[in-house]
Amino acid sequence: MSDINEVIKKKNGYTLHIVKTEKFKTNSIVFKMKAPLDQDTVTLRGLLPHVMQSSTKSFPSTTKLRSHLDELYGANFFVDLGKKGEYHIVSMSVEIANEKFLADSEPLLQKGIEFLTEVLFHPHATDEFDHATVEKEKRNQKIRIQSVYDDKMRYANSRLVEEMCKGERFALHVNGEKEEVDAITPKALYDYYERVMREDQFDLYVIGDVDADEVEKLCDGLMDLTDRDPERVDQGIQKEIKKENVIKEQQDVKQGKLNIGYRTHTQYGDEDYFALQVFNGIFGGFSHSKLFINVREKASLAYYAASRLESHKGLLMVMSGIESKNYDQAVGIIDEQLQAMKSGDFTSDELEQTKAVMRNQMLETIDTPRGLVEVLYQNAFAGIDIGLNDWLSKIDAATKDEVVKAAQKVQLDTIYFLTGTEG
């Protein structure tokens, strides 16, 4: 297995990452913006990319902007907000056809990069954003924030994080606070935009069958940023747990949602991070894992029962949908599985099987442009360098002993249960 061929160039104010690959029929351009999650800016940051994507100087209406993208063979352009550890990440992505598969050869890659830089550097604003755009997007931001409530799986997960991480940055919502939206003015948003362009950590990814020198030259001509020293915050993974939290909330739902949060005291970049990943795989990451087998297949209590890691924050989250009357039984079975992991009650078959599936999953992830960017960004985000081959070999090298040790560090923090009205 050859490693990913990533060319990294440190530029003024951003880092350019280029991956040349012939796998895809399209070229992908992804711009990542990183800043700490912060009470004072979380709502502004939830709004900003949506205002930026709806119009620019050259395309002062959404209709004009989207028509332009249609002309570029339906270039796909979207913004996305996420949390990674204690940071608030904005991604702006353009995916555009590679002209070599088209009858007429327009320079589409160039036009895609030009478009993205238009969005970044030439917003529809003078010294404040366009009023009508801001008002529309404020309305949509409120709906976006509110919509979490309507998807009960997302809601339960978000409530768990809220309760578990009270007082930590990670408890903030990715789209911001509904009560703070109305007060945002076009001027305040523009001031925040200028601050972002001055202070954020920026990474630009270009993935596809591209010429690295040509991409670099293009970017040198279009990207105009000043150098900066991005703010860093403590990830706070060592929080001490005094007492386990149990939160039960009743709503008119047919299925109860059981979400359990644990602290792992391990994060991306730590020596035992790989063992923790393997632990999660055996515990609840896959359909051969202990949670799936014992909660679903053996006890027939649920359709889904799984776990996942928040690698940069050191959290482990378990989620399952159950009948409310089965709460005690489900919590009991989940706890038994964790205790089994801690006492090394898993076979070497389970260990090897999990490693094989994890290896498979990683190799599949980098078969999509988006997955590839996410894998590479783990490193840029954390400021460390773990290559694909390192990752694969370290997963492979994790011993049973190390997995047990990682499991023993896992500590229950909060149980959140959204219970139906019937039980």
Partner 1 sequence: MKKITFDQLQENLYYEKMANGLDVYILPKEGFNKTYATFTTKYGSIDNHFAPLGEEELVKVPDGIAHFLEHKLFEKEDGDVFQQFSKQGASANAFTSFTRTAYLFSSTTNVEGNLETLIDFVQDPYFTEKTVEKEKGIIGQEITMYDDNPDWRLYFGVIENMYKNHPVKIDIAGTIESITPITKDMLYQCYGTFYHPSNMLLFVVGSVDPEAIMNQVRDNQGKKDYEKMPEIKREFEQEPDEVAEKKKVLKMNVQSPKCLVGLKASNPHQQGKEMLKQELSINVFLDILFGKSSSHYSDLYNDGLIDETFSYDYTQENGFGFLTAGGDTEKPDELSERIQGLLLKAVNEPIVTEENLARTKKKKIGAFLRAINSPEFIANQFTRYAFNEMDLFDVVPTLESLTVDDITNAAAGLIDEKRMTVCQVVPNS
- In the list 8, 143, 384, 397, the residue contacting partner 1 (rule: CB under 8 A) is 143
Region of 269 (left: φ > 0; alpha: ψ -120 to 50; beta: rest) is left
Nearer to partner 1, 149 or 230 (CB): 149
Stretch that binds partner 1, among 11-19, 62-70, 182-190, 241-249 (CB under 8 A): 62-70
Q: Return the residues of window 99-128 that contact partner 1 according to CB under 8 A.
A: 101-103
Q: Give the single-character DSSP code of 90.
A: E
Q: Is 158 helix (H, G, I), strand (E, B) or coil?
A: helix
Amino acid at 421: T
Per CB under 8 A, the list member of 74, 107, 230, 387 interacting with partner 1 is: 74
Measured from the CB atom, is 185 or 287 closer to partner 1?
A: 287
Among residues 58, 63, 343, 347, the one that binds partner 1 under rule CB under 8 A: 63
- Residue selected from 126, 146, 339, 399 as contacting partner 1 according to rule CB under 8 A: 146
22 touching partner 1, by CB under 8 A = yes
Kindly report the number of other CB atoms within 10 A of residue 105's CB atom: 9
233 vs 356 by CB, closer to partner 1: 356
Token reading at 389: 């081959």
**113 backbone φψ class: left, alpha, beta (φ>0; ψ -120 to 50):** alpha
* Residue 69 sits in the site that holds partner 1 (CB under 8 A): yes
- Helix or strand run (H / E) with residue 58: none
* Contact indicator for 388, 1 with CB cutoff of 8 Å: yes
User: Contact between 66 and partner 1 (CB under 8 A)?
Assistant: yes
**118 CB burial (10 A radius; 0-12, 13-18, 19+):** middle
Our finding on whether 24 is near partner 1 (CB under 8 A) is: yes
The size of the interface with partner 1 (CB under 8 A), counted in residues, is 70
- Under DSSP, the state recorded for 2 is P
Identify the residue among 14, 31, 73, 193 touching partner 1 (CB under 8 A).
Answer: 73
Please count the CA atoms within 13 angstroms of the CA of 162 that sit on its side-chain side.
13
Confirm if 318 and 384 have CB atoms less than 8 A apart. no
The answer to the question of residue 18 lying near partner 1 (CB under 8 A) is no
**Nearest-CA neighbor of 45 among 105, 87, 104?**
87
Is residue 152 close enough to count as binding partner 1 by CB under 8 A? yes
Q: Which residues sit opposite 322 in a β-bridge? A: 256, 302
239 binds partner 1 (CB under 8 A): no
Does residue 307 bind partner 1 (CB under 8 A)?
no
Chain residues that interact with partner 1, rule: CB under 8 A:
21-26, 61-63, 66-67, 69-76, 95-98, 101-103, 132, 136, 139-140, 143-144, 146-147, 149-152, 251-255, 286-288, 296-297, 300-304, 321-323, 349, 353-354, 356-357, 359-361, 363-364, 366-369
